[in-house]
């Protein structure tokens, strides 16, 4: 869950000017424990807070800045949103992450070599005193500062210090190195999505890979930098009283277009000017979670008998002997692998009675890499006449293929092309009645 929160929450701006008075930040009922409860009820694994947006205002008493909660009247200058959220996350069992924009429209040194030192001190104060931090979110935005100049960011030092102080943090940016921006803010990952990316000579911002490349990745990319899809539950990133959350159907579409295409979903749920997640947003998230639970509660594939074109063999990994039966269990660390030279294969699911479905879920065992390049799905329409209902390219960690609603006694999943032998650890069939409505 993304939480955009700061002076913009009170001004209605998306990008603050950096000249806003510190006292404008004054939530009347801030409760980070409520944020965590909302996140847990909706099924989120972590929360990432905009600790410093482009306006430069810091939600913690950053010693490297004079534009912080310390200078505000909120809680008599003694408030610290990072502290409250990190403690609430730890208490509630939710991971804690931070967004810190290097662009600063308030810092007087922005646009000079000195600013990179200031920004390193900003990162240090956040990384040393809060956490553990599971993800550091770097925005590549680079506009003008108060002196009208742009900054040349020292990304190498920013990343190095982050990993020194938070060695387990995933660093997000246009080029990772942990995970990458998906190339848009509409909640849509590429229909083809490789987790590999070429980043040599690239950096966040103007010198990032093209949006199409970020969306799809690179087939022979040199680095493993999977996609993260960020989108807001509301039209804007910061809370506005005039805006309202997306419908369950819209959120389901986003889910299928992100999680269902080998990407993490980072859904922004902005706190309001009280410092609380609004009731309508919380309710919508509960409805969204209920819809997902309803759709994926019953996996029809578990009721099938399977037939394989290649029986495969036990995995060579110590302690991980696998059989074809384990393609249908809930253990991610079990999988079906074809023989080493087999890169085209199929599995047929056979049912005693006709089954109705419109969602097919496939997962590769990612510790052994992303392999599948293309596949298709057939159904038996009787008399052994097969009809193709879907064609797709990559699978990755998870692929959810949307099909027409069909009824059949046999389903055939054909891997047409794979970089090396096929390693699948899950096949699932589901019926989404909600999106049918």
Phi, psi angle pair for 428, to nearest 5°: -140, 150
Please give the pLDDT value at position 350: 93
Which residue, 296, 331, 350, sits at the end of a domain? 296
pLDDT category, 324, cuts 50, 70, 90? low
Q: Is residue 141 part of a domain?
A: yes
266 and 372 housed in the same domain: no
Centroid of chain to Cα 64: 30
Q: What average pLDDT does this structure show over 92-99?
A: 98
Please give the pLDDT value at position 322: 40
Q: Is residue 435 part of a domain?
A: no
- The 10s digit of each residue's pLDDT in 51-91 is 999 999 999 999 999 999 999 999 999 999 999 999 999 99
257 and 351 housed in the same domain: no
Instruction: Using the predicted structure, report yes or no on whether residue 213 has a pLDDT greater than 90.
Output: yes
Please give the pLDDT value at position 320: 39
Q: Is residue 350 part of a domain?
A: yes
Mean pLDDT across the chain:
94
- The 10s digit of each residue's pLDDT in 234-270 is 999 999 999 999 999 999 999 999 999 999 999 999 9
Q: What average pLDDT does this structure show over 160-186?
A: 97
Please give the pLDDT value at position 193: 98
358 and 289 housed in the same domain: no
Please give the pLDDT value at position 319: 35
Query: What CATH number does the domain containing 363 carry?
Result: 2.60.120.260
**Of all residues in the chain, what percent carry a pLDDT higher than 90?**
89
- The 10s digit of each residue's pLDDT in 368-412 is 999 999 999 999 998 889 999 999 999 999 999 999 999 999 999
413 and 361 housed in the same domain: yes
Q: Is residue 437 part of a domain?
A: no
198 and 311 housed in the same domain: no
Please give the pLDDT value at position 318: 36
pLDDT category, 314, cuts 50, 70, 90? very low
Q: Which domain holds residue 399?
A: 300-430
264 and 334 housed in the same domain: no
Please give the pLDDT value at position 328: 85
Please give the pLDDT value at position 137: 98
Instruction: Using the predicted structure, report yes or no on whether residue 38 has a pLDDT greater than 90.
Output: yes
Say how many domains are in the chain: 2
Q: Is residue 189 part of a domain?
A: yes
- Measure the CA–CA gap between 393 and 382, rounded to whole angstroms: 27
Instruction: Using the predicted structure, report yes or no on whether residue 93 has a pLDDT greater than 70.
Output: yes
275 and 305 housed in the same domain: no
Count CB neighbours of 390 within 10 A.
16
Which residue, 276, 296, 316, sits at the end of a domain? 296
Question: Which segment of 115-119, 391-395, 397-401, 433-437 scores lowest on mean pLDDT?
Answer: 433-437
Q: Is residue 436 part of a domain?
A: no
Please give the pLDDT value at position 437: 57
246 and 389 housed in the same domain: no
Q: What average pLDDT does this structure show over 115-133?
A: 96
The strand pairing partners of 230, in sequence order, are: 266
- Measure the CA–CA gap between 37 and 310, rounded to whole angstroms: 47
Query: What CATH number does the domain containing 156 carry?
Result: 3.20.20.80
Which residue, 296, 319, 340, sits at the end of a domain? 296
186 and 259 housed in the same domain: yes
- Measure the CA–CA gap between 200 and 388, rounded to whole angstroms: 40
Which residues does 30 contact at the CB level (< 8 Å), separation at least 6? 79, 81, 84, 271, 274, 275, 276
291 and 367 housed in the same domain: no
200 and 343 housed in the same domain: no
pLDDT category, 313, cuts 50, 70, 90? low
**Rg of the chain's alpha carbons, rounded to an integer?**
24
Please give the pLDDT value at position 395: 98
Instruction: Using the predicted structure, report yes or no on whether residue 321 has a pLDDT greater than 80.
Output: no
Instruction: Using the predicted structure, report yes or no on whether residue 436 has a pLDDT greater than 80.
Output: no
117 and 46 housed in the same domain: yes
Instruction: Using the predicted structure, report yes or no on whether residue 130 has a pLDDT greater than 90.
Output: yes
Which residues does 319 contact at the CB level (< 8 Å), separation at least 6? none
Q: Is residue 377 part of a domain?
A: yes
Q: Token pair of 306, please?
A: 């399977």
């Amino acid at each position: 869950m993304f939480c955009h929160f700061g002076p913009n929450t009170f001004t209605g701006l998306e990008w603050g000017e950096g000249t806003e008075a510190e006292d404008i930040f004054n939530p009347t009922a801030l409760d980070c424990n409520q944020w965590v409860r909302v996140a847990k009820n909706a099924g989120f694994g972590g929360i990432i807070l905009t600790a410093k947006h482009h306006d430069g205002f810091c939600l913690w008493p950053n010693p490297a800045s004079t534009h912080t909660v310390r200078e505000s009247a909120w809680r008599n200058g003694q408030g610290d949103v990072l502290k409250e959220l990190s403690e609430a996350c730890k208490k509630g069992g939710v991971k804690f992450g931070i967004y810190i924009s290097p662009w600063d429209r308030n810092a007087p040194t922005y646009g000079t070599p000195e600013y990179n030192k200031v920004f390193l001190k900003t990162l240090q104060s956040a990384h040393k005193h809060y956490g553990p931090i599971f993800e550091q979110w770097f925005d590549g935005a680079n506009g003008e500062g108060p002196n009208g100049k742009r900054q040349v960011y020292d990304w190498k030092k920013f990343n190095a210090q982050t990993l020194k102080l938070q060695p387990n943090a995933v660093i997000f940016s246009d080029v990772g190195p942990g995970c990458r921006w998906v190339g848009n803010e509409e909640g849509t990952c590429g229909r083809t999505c490789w987790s590999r990316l070429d980043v040599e000579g690239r950096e966040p911002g103007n010198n990032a890979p093209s949006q199409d490349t970020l969306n799809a990745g690179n087939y022979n990319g040199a680095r493993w930098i999977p996609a993260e899809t960020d989108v807001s539950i509301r039209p804007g990133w910061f809370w506005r009283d005039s805006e309202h959350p997306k419908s369950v159907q819209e959120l389901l579409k986003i889910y299928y277009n992100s999680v269902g295409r080998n990407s993490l979903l980072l859904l922004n749920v902005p706190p309001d000017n009280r410092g609380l997640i609004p009731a309508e947003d919380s309710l919508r998230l509960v409805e969204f979670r209920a819809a997902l639970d309803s759709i994926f509660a019953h996996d029809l594939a578990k009721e099938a008998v399977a037939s394989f074109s290649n029986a495969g063999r036990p995995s060579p990994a110590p302690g991980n002997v696998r059989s074809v039966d384990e393609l249908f269990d809930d253990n991610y660390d079990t999988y079906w692998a074809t023989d080493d030279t087999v890169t085209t294969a199929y599995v047929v699911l056979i049912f005693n009675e006709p089954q109705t479905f419109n969602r097919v879920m496939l997962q590769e065992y990612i510790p052994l890499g992303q392999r599948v390049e293309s596949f298709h799905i057939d159904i038996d329409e009787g008399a052994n006449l097969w009809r193709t209902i879907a064609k797709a390219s990559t699978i990755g960690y998870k692929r959810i293929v949307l099909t027409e609603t069909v009824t059949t006694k046999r389903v055939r999943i054909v891997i047409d092309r794979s970089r090396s032998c096929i390693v699948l650890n899950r096949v699932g069939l589901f019926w989404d009645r909600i999106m049918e409505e």
